[in-house]
A and B are shown apart, each in its own frame.
Chain A
Amino acid sequence: MTAMTDADFRRAIRARTLRRNLWLAFLLLPPMAVMFIFIFLPMGSAVLYSVYEWDGLVRGDFVGLENFREVLFEPQKSKFLFNAFKNNVIVFVSVMVVQNGLALVLAMLLAREPKGYRFYQVVFFLPVILSTVIIGFQWKLFLNPVFGLVNNLLRAAGLDSWALPWLGLPETALPSMILVNAWHWVGFPTLVFLAAIHRIPKDYIEAARLDGASEWRIARDIIWPLMAPAVTIIVVLTFIGAFNWFEIPYVMNGLEGAPGYSTDMLGLLFYRTAFGSISATDSDFGAGSALAVLIFLFIFTVSLIFTRLLTAREIELA
């Protein structure tokens, strides 16, 4: 064996470090490049585009915050923004109550492992895997006033006066869509909640039961506080989902939020502003980008606040 000099040794180390760095670069550069080109570049450009005037696909002059002023304060445009915003808030609150409330009840019941509980899990989750487009069209057919399944059932039950044109009335269109959304998604929060309940150590619940605590008290005082992390995630996901709501209203009642903008959403308004529509105006990339920036800032800020507030009530299990 030949003795290694200090210099040889250092050279060998350097060669090895170089080889390792090249290997790491080979692993990291392709995914980072894809992320940069298709996520960070467009996201950054969106901010930049919002301070320019646009003529179709051609960027014009720098206009500062003019596009923001237009969508926020010009009554002709801002009335759409505030109406859509109000509808998104309604969607968020209703989905929280109807869909996540039901999911919580279902999860609590399934956690007691009643007979057939694996079957129930699969059944409740089934609509979750289907495309929103399939769900939207399916329910559009079911809600058809003349031959739809819903009104047929109501008439068969003797409730003829209840057989309404559900998607045609401003009072019932949005609630119908929210219920369709709940039918589509309820399995998701149910199984997320269920997984969280299963992670609570069994002895906590057993001990309480031995002490004679009622099921209601166990649910309220043990399970509910200990499943807090799952609740945090579902609230934040519901919030983001509600303010990105697009597919269901688009498929069921079109881009204009019919009837009478009662189902208009920020997502639809953004799409109409950016790419134009029959009724509204031509495509306006400047105003569209301004809307995108505003929607993003709002979702980002409120998600952060929700996460802060909700994680504060989470309890670490020792």
Chain B
Amino acid sequence: MQTAKQKNSSLDRVLIQIFLIGNAIIMLYPILMMALSGFKTNAEIFTRPFGMPSSFNLDNFKVIWTQTDVPRYLINSAIVTGFSVLFLLVMGTMAAYALSRYRWRGSIMVSLFFLSGLMLPLRLAIIPLFIQLKAMGLTDNPLGLIAIYTAMSLPATVFILTGFLRSLPAELEDSARIDGASELRIMVQIMTPLISPALVIAGIYNAVPIWNDFFFPLIFIQSPEWKTLAQGLTQFFGEYSINYGVLYAGLTLAALPIVVIFIAQSRRFIAGMTAGAIK
């Protein structure tokens, strides 16, 4: 026999599921419609907006792959994101290592130097940054973007990695030191591998916003050969503004790489992207 309370809680459970399923549909349906519309012709989008496409032909995707710069934008984004993440992890580890594994005078000041970067919104300094990068020959140049992204990411990266490096026991280094290993070797071969989960978290935390960024390329990149994906999409939207099937296909293609990685690695993604907000 069910008590009133149990009955109540099973009703609760049904209501909760309805609410959550409703929300899941609201989140998934637009993404699904975007992908499906990418297979449709213009006529189909008008006549059968909700239905399945008449066939899963790849014409729209072929147009994008062969007639637009979108593949080039994808490659550019991969280059910029890849090098930025490489540099920010290497430099972030160096700084975090010096701050967490050695005791020295002034280390608090240097910590504050990095931490204060967390509070400076670089977008608002875009005018001097523009003048500066122009003088350095870094406008219209992927190196300019890589430098900016590396610098912007360092405060959070140092912050995340310092926490992990501090938690490693000192015995590890001490015994390696007694064996005569150099400081560089201790750092690279013994300590850094131990924080690889933290490196993954810091990498994702920074890589996703860099891959998605639109603002800095908008200001610093003009020539199509170096446009990144998010920025290049605005160009593509101007050119194909009435061919809706192609537009949807372009959006789908642009979203695809990160969605695939996210679905394969959802836990790491969620842990990584919320790393800055969870103490």
Contacts and interface: CB of A to CB of B under 8 A. Distances in A.
Interface of A: 20-21, 23-24, 27-28, 30-32, 34-35, 37-43, 45-46, 49, 57, 105-106, 109-110, 112, 114-117, 119-134, 137-139, 141-142, 147, 149, 152-153, 156, 183, 187-188, 191-192, 195-196, 215, 229-230, 233-234, 237, 240, 244, 246-247, 251, 267, 270, 274-275, 285, 288-289, 292-293, 295-296, 299-300, 303
Interface in B227-279: 229-231, 233-234, 237, 244, 247-248, 251, 254-255, 258-259, 262-263, 266, 269-270, 273-274, 277-279
B215 A247 contact: yes
Interface centre among B147, B212, B213, B259 (most CB of A within 10 A): B212
A23 B104 CA distance: 12
Contacts of B45: 147
21 contacts: A28-B95, A37-B147, A42-B125, A43-B122, A109-B20, A110-B20, A114-B17, A125-B269, A126-B28, A131-B211, A131-B254, A134-B254, A134-B255, A141-B248, A147-B45, A152-B50, A230-B277, A274-B126, A289-B127, A289-B128, A292-B126
B30 interface: yes
Contacts of B12: 215
B97 to A, nearest CB: 6
B214 A23 contact: no
Interface stretch (B53-61, B150-158, B166-174): B150-158
Contact of A183 (B19, B30, B94, B208): B30
B251 A134 contact: yes
B34 interface: yes
Nearest to B204: A129
Q: Is the interface of B mostly helix, strand, loop or mixed?
A: helix
Q: Is the interface of A mostly helix, strand, loop or mixed?
A: helix
Interface string B72-116: 000000000000000000011011011000101000001001100
A35 B154 contact: yes
A142 B32 CA distance: 12
A187 B262 CA distance: 14
Given A39-B122, A39-B151, A131-B254, A147 B244 contact: yes
Contact of B230 (A28, A131, A149, A299): A131
A130 B13 CA distance: 31
Nearest to B211: A131
Given A27-B95, A35-B154, A42-B125, A114 B20 contact: yes
B255 A141 contact: no
Contacts of B184: 23
Given A230-B278, A296-B121, A296-B124, A38 B273 contact: no
Contact of B183 (A23, A39, A187, A251): A23
A244 B121 contact: yes
Contact of B132 (A41, A127, A130): A41
A183 B244 contact: no
Given A115-B17, A127-B27, A31 B230 contact: no
